Amino acid sequence: MRFNGLFFVLLLLSGVALATEKTPIRIGVQTTGTVAWELAVLLTLETDFDVLVNEIANPEAGKAALQAGEVDMIVSDWLWVARQRASGADYTFYPYSTTSGALVVPKDSPIHSIKDLLGKRLGIAGGELDKNWLLLQALGKQKNVDLSASVEKIMGAPALLSEKLRQNRLDAVLTYWHFAARLEAEAYRQIVDGKGILNALGINGNEPALGYMFKQSWVAAHKPAVKHFLTANLQAKKQLCVSDAAWKNVLPLTQTNDPATQANLRRHYCAGNIQHWGGHEQQAIARIYTLLRTLSDHQLTGSSENLPDGTFWSID
pLDDT digits (tens, 9 = 90+) for 177-208: 999 999 999 999 999 999 999 999 999 878 99
Same domain, 150 and 240: no
Instruction: Give domain status of residue 243, yes or no.
Output: yes
Same domain, 164 and 248: no
Same domain, 218 and 165: no
| Count of domains forming the chain | 2
Instruction: Give domain status of residue 216, yes or no.
Output: yes
Are the C-beta atoms of residues 43 and 11 closer than 8 Å to each other?
yes
Residue 85: the pLDDT is 93
Instruction: Give domain status of residue 312, yes or no.
Output: no
176: containing domain: 102-200
Are the C-beta atoms of residues 23 and 49 closer than 8 Å to each other?
yes
CATH of the domain at 182: 3.40.190.10
d(CA 249, CA 26) in angstroms, rounded, equals: 23
- The secondary structure of 240-284, three-state, reads HHHCHHHHHHHHHHHCCCCHHHHHHHHHHHHHCCCCCCCHHHHHH
Same domain, 165 and 230: no
Instruction: Give domain status of residue 62, yes or no.
Output: yes
Instruction: Give domain status of residue 302, yes or no.
Output: no
Same domain, 106 and 95: no
CA–CA distances in Å: residue 38 to residues 17, 35, 77, 97, 251: 17, 5, 18, 12, 12
Same domain, 221 and 147: no
pLDDT band at 285 (very low <50, low <70, confident <90, very high): very high
Instruction: Give domain status of residue 221, yes or no.
Output: yes
Instruction: Give domain status of residue 301, yes or no.
Output: no
- Strand arrangement of the beta sheet that strand 91-97 belongs to: 74-77, 210-215, 91-97
Whether pLDDT at 7 is above 60: no
Q: 259-280: string of b/e by CB count within 10 Å (b at 16+)?
A: eebbebbbebbbebebeebeee
Same domain, 88 and 171: no
Same domain, 132 and 110: yes
pLDDT band at 171 (very low <50, low <70, confident <90, very high): very high
Residue 185: the pLDDT is 96
Residue 264: the pLDDT is 96
Same domain, 88 and 17: yes
Same domain, 72 and 215: yes
Whole-prediction pTM: 0.90
Residue 11: the pLDDT is 56
Residue 259: the pLDDT is 96
> Which residue did the predictor score with more confidence, 45 or 225?
225
**Average pLDDT taken over every residue of the chain:** 92
Same domain, 160 and 217: no
Instruction: Give domain status of residue 94, yes or no.
Output: yes
The SS3 call for residue 31 is coil
Same domain, 216 and 285: yes
pLDDT digits (tens, 9 = 90+) for 35-59: 999 999 988 888 889 999 999 998 8
